[in-house]
Structure 1
Amino acid sequence: MSTRPSPSTLTLCLLLILGGACSLACSGQVAGENRPDTKGETPSDSSPRLILLVIIDQARSDYLTRFRPLFHGGLGRLLDNGIFFTQAYHEHARTLTASGHATLVTGLHPAHHGIIGNQWFDREQREDVYCVGDTVHGRSPGHLLGSTLGDWLKKSDPASLVYAASGKDRSAILMGGHEADGAFWYDQATGQFTSSSYYGDSSSSWLTAFNDRKIPDQSFAAPWSPIPLEADLNSFGIVKLDEGAFTTGFPRALGGPSAIPGPGFYTDYYASPAGDRYLAHLAREIVQRKSLGKDDHLDLLALSFSSLDSVGHAYGPESREVLDTLLRLDLVLGELLSFLDREVGENRTLVALSSDHGVLPLPELHAGLPEKSRRFTTGDILCHQAAGARLRERLGDGDWLLDDFYLNPAAIAARGLDLHKVARQLADIYEDCPAVRRAWTATDMEAGENHSDAFFQLYVNNYQPQRSPDVMLQMKPGILPYARPGTSHGSPYSYDTHVPVLLMVPGFGSGRIEEKIHTVDLAPTIAALVGLNVPAGLDGRSQVDMMQSLMDLSTRTEAAESRSSPTR
């Protein structure tokens, strides 16, 4: 007989958690054995039957406040009916897609879940490693060292279903975790969604039928034009970009001058708001094909919307293009939430929303940045290129570097040199470059001592000994480390680390929490809300108590207002 608690027990567990205590019904009793497949049966009570995790790639937290008056769809609904943690931050230094997604679903920093970036250098194999690369399956979560929210759910009840989808393979795969039933991502060459043999579902007939609908092709030869707005865009911080002689504004064509859809069109389709709508089409297909949220087994659907990242890189957070992408995503999410109300039932879906990282404003606009903000100059590039030669000047001729920032320990040992001292010399060379604030070494990270530098802990949280380089650079705030147009992310500064965390929980209230939390807190908070055990040693912790305090305050305020109102 299964030991998984009934939904009524989970509801009781949630009440006990919110009251600040949890009975044995919420501890060791949660894990269950295999149960007969009951997909399609009617759920026995009104507890949540589906967790919808939404990650918006490159969504700065200020987008939700800055553009709030313009959101009337899903983002507006979540802000009206959910709890918004306004001061949520990633606490690792390299704010990149893979690191951020893994952090949000594991409750661990990159130092512990192992995804230190989108790729890294393997010292043993002497080759670059892609974060979800796999020599057998092509793509898999094999490099992920920690377990995820989906893995915890599957451990609790193997009959639960876990699916993930995104425009990016790394986003989908890392969100799904090791035990996902399926993960799907967009192929920019074909305009179709694909998967990996790791999941055994890549050639599924339903996915083939979905791709055969050729949804992207329906947008071929149609321009991307912004939603008309009567609002004063300047009041929302939107500026008209200086597009120069070689670019044009709206309307924007997707793809080149070809008479038929091809890779150029499919790539531009992905890098426009249309890519997010396509993902939502797939999400609805998964829900219906796999009967998510249809029975007493809690399911998870994790979606990462990637279009904003491409648009933000190209045009920056002050652009009409970014605003339009968010407004269209707002509509897409509204339609998706209404669909789930119909398919799963109203108040049957727990929704969590966050982001993998923010983005640096265009340095030329100095929007909230230091006046010395700028992108790399030719001098900056040459200074970095000279690092290898300057190290040889100090040590003599030799292959001292295996790759950028990765030293050659064999060559250093053969000369009788100390690896840590050589790393410090390389760091000193980089610190002579004007754009570099500090060069951190592996020795700095391994010392693990309290450090007066406010950014030290973020680099410690990003350091994994087998994968991280010997030297890690911290640029000065507002410095964009390339010279081409557009902007990027990846720094430890608030414009990259400050992201939204928003939870809409059935039966719960709404409001804003201004206290600071970290993104490692999201997964354990969701787990606590649905009564899941979490592994020992997480870096994050549940913030349900903080949520309950907000609700208690709201209840007391409403009661006081009721007592003070005149009798009719």
Structure 2
Amino acid sequence: MFFANRRKFFKTISGALAAAAPALAAPSRKRSKLVIWLMPEALRYDTLIAAEPWLRSGGLRRLMEEGSFFPDCSLNASSFSSSALATLQTGAYPAGHGIVADRWAQRSVIAASPARLQATTLSEQVRLADTRNRTFWISSDTHLAELGAGLGKPEESSLYGTDSKGKFQLSAGPPNTWLTSFAAKNAPDEPRTFEWRAMHAAAGAPPLRSFRVDAAQPQESLRGWQASPFGLSYEFDFLTALIRNQKLGRGPAGDLVTVVLDSFGKLARAEGGDSPLMRELLLHLDSEIENLLAFLTADGVEATLAMTSLHGAPDTSTGGHRVSGQALATSIEKALATHFGPNPGRRIETYIYPFLYLKNPEKVTREMRLAAGKAALAGGPVQAFYTADGDCSHTGEWAQRMRNSFHATRSGDVMLSYLPGYLEDTGETRGVSFGSLYNYDVRVPAIFWGPGFSDQDFEDRIAAVDVAPTLARVLDVAAPSSSVGRVLAEVFTSGMPGPRGDRAAR
């Protein structure tokens, strides 16, 4: 609180001095030709704040102190990986961009894909603005890279995903020769033993994890390797190789490279957002960012960096916190039969969390949807519901989050939200899943660093839909077609930048 008050005091003094000073011409905004957007998949804001005392001076701490730091950037909508990525990239909510979950139903089960997007992405806007602009995507989940690249032809953006052995490969885009050499020198499937040690552990301390990558159990060992500092380092090694070999930031126009750091998502799925291993992986991210900044300086590349976590993650779950979607749908079906009388056949077409689809849409009434929502509240660990008619069990911000998440033709008849900590039962005996509307899933940190950004902390909450239009402003391109976010004008330097203050006092 002292830190926030002191910053407010200095801002007041600075504003008074600026008002008394002679008018000055606004400085021209400096731009870099390379923008790097880092997206750790499941990094919560509280994980970053808790690890702050252990951060290096040249890594995340440098970004936070020299750039614009928002500890509270909210998705304000569903936090499924596909939905969250589309929200960040389009500056629109699922109600507008159409990616309501990782999968949903429209007569059959539909998976999220670029063809299902109903809005352009930032990557598309960059390519549309100037044919010389280049966009690149790095993600071990090729699906997310394709979704972020947008509706245009895949070959218009260079997409790099991983194969079954964990090696990066070109999924779409112009062919290149350096990739083969990189894959040969950085083979994650080479048989060896890895020991994950705590970043600040005493000499001789046992490893946090030890696992061997071998051909006997390729997928299991690969998952462990990817959800570790070794997988994270591989992602950054590939990023620096891409910058060097593709000469990013040195072309006639601008380059945008987006990196989805899947190592965080894989670890969070297995261990939960509250795992001590998540903090340890964050400290390794800190080290990788320090190395990246040093590389850019040595290579003579001036870059802008943005970092926004894709979404958060719930705490470690137990078997008692898992919800059987089939059992929930059955209880709602029985309640509807009691309310409206027997019916030949089922009234529910299907339930794909979090959406309930009723049969014969042309005959479904508002009363039926309300009855289904109320039955869900009474018959299972359900916190809230929202219907296609706009009826909601809650008001205020919670209702707004559900409204932002609900698409008129893709979200069925009723959207449900489970109680905090409850997850859809996917058959896994451990681990967590993403997608809820709770703060542990939707609140993430955001950082903007580079030429033209002010060095300030902003305690006011911003929306994830604000990130794309802000970066579009940096890149001098139009905001995505359906963007409802605002340009975060406060992050840009003015004639009199505000003082920064001591972060340790916060």
> Taking structure 2 as the reference length, what is the TM-score of the superposition?
0.82
Q: Please state if 1:470 is matched with 2:405.
A: no
**2:125 alignment partner in structure 1:** 152
Q: How much has 1:302 moved relative to structure 2?
A: 0.5
Distance 2:90 2:388 in 1: 24
Q: How do 1:455-494 and structure 2 match up within 5 A?
A: 455-482=398-425, 484-494=429-439
Secondary structure in 2 matching 1:469: coil
CA gap 1:79/1:376 in 2 versus in 1, 3 angstroms:
same
Unaligned runs of 5+ in 2: 1-22
Q: Please state if 1:402 is matched with 2:383.
A: no
Distance 1:403 1:20 in 2: 63
Q: How much has 1:343 moved relative to structure 2?
A: 3.0
Secondary structure in 1 matching 2:209: coil
- Give the aligned CA root-mean-square deviation in angstroms: 3.4
Q: Please state if 1:270 is matched with 2:216.
A: no
**1:87 alignment partner in structure 2:** 72
Q: Which of 370, 375, 378 is residue 432 of structure 1 equivalent to?
A: 378
Distance 2:217 2:192 in 1: 7
Calculate percent identity across the aligned residue pairs.
25
* One-letter amino acid of the counterpart of residue 454, structure 1: E
CA gap 1:192/1:535 in 2 versus in 1, 3 angstroms:
closer
> What CA deviation, in whole Å up to 9, does each residue of 1:345-391 have, x standing for no partner?
2xx21110001211222367xxxxxxxx971378x974454334544
> What CA deviation, in whole Å up to 9, does each residue of 1:196-220 have, x standing for no partner?
4xx344x654434433335213473
**1:251 alignment partner in structure 2:** 209
Secondary structure in 2 matching 1:467: coil
Q: Please state if 1:66 is matched with 2:50.
A: yes
CA gap 1:259/1:457 in 2 versus in 1, 3 angstroms:
closer
Q: Which of 243, 249, 254 is residue 298 of structure 1 equivalent to?
A: 254
**1:534 alignment partner in structure 2:** 479
Q: How much has 1:282 moved relative to structure 2?
A: 1.9
**2:470 alignment partner in structure 1:** 525
**2:11 alignment partner in structure 1:** none
Distance 2:170 2:337 in 1: 46
Secondary structure in 2 matching 1:300: strand
**2:162 alignment partner in structure 1:** 186
Distance 1:143 1:420 in 2: 27
Question: Does the 8 A contact of 2:140 with 2:166 survive in 1?
Answer: no
Q: Please state if 1:171 is matched with 2:126.
A: no
Question: Does the 8 A contact of 2:36 with 2:257 survive in 1?
Answer: yes
Q: How much has 1:221 moved relative to structure 2?
A: 2.3
**1:513 alignment partner in structure 2:** 458
Distance 1:537 1:116 in 2: 15
CA gap 1:165/1:535 in 2 versus in 1, 3 angstroms:
closer
**2:7 alignment partner in structure 1:** none
Q: How much has 1:460 moved relative to structure 2?
A: 1.2
Distance 2:26 2:402 in 1: 35
Distance 1:384 1:407 in 2: 10
Distance 1:21 1:419 in 2: 61
Secondary structure in 2 matching 1:84: strand
Distance 1:21 1:178 in 2: 41
Question: Does the 8 A contact of 1:384 with 1:433 survive in 2?
Answer: no
> Taking structure 1 as the reference length, what is the TM-score of the superposition?
0.74
Distance 2:411 2:495 in 1: 40
Paired residue total: 467
**2:3 alignment partner in structure 1:** none
Question: Does the 8 A contact of 1:317 with 1:359 survive in 2?
Answer: yes
CA gap 1:546/1:79 in 2 versus in 1, 3 angstroms:
closer
Question: Does the 8 A contact of 1:352 with 1:501 survive in 2?
Answer: yes
**2:314 alignment partner in structure 1:** 360
Q: Please state if 1:553 is matched with 2:503.
A: no
CA gap 1:82/1:533 in 2 versus in 1, 3 angstroms:
same
Question: Does the 8 A contact of 2:159 with 2:173 survive in 1?
Answer: no
Q: How much has 1:184 moved relative to structure 2?
A: 1.6
Question: Does the 8 A contact of 1:215 with 1:278 survive in 2?
Answer: no
CA gap 1:21/1:438 in 2 versus in 1, 3 angstroms:
farther
Q: Which of 192, 196, 199 is residue 220 of structure 1 equivalent to?
A: 192
**1:161 alignment partner in structure 2:** 134
Q: How much has 1:461 moved relative to structure 2?
A: 0.9
- Runs of 4+ in structure 1 off by over 6 angstroms are 19-23
CA gap 1:61/1:547 in 2 versus in 1, 3 angstroms:
farther
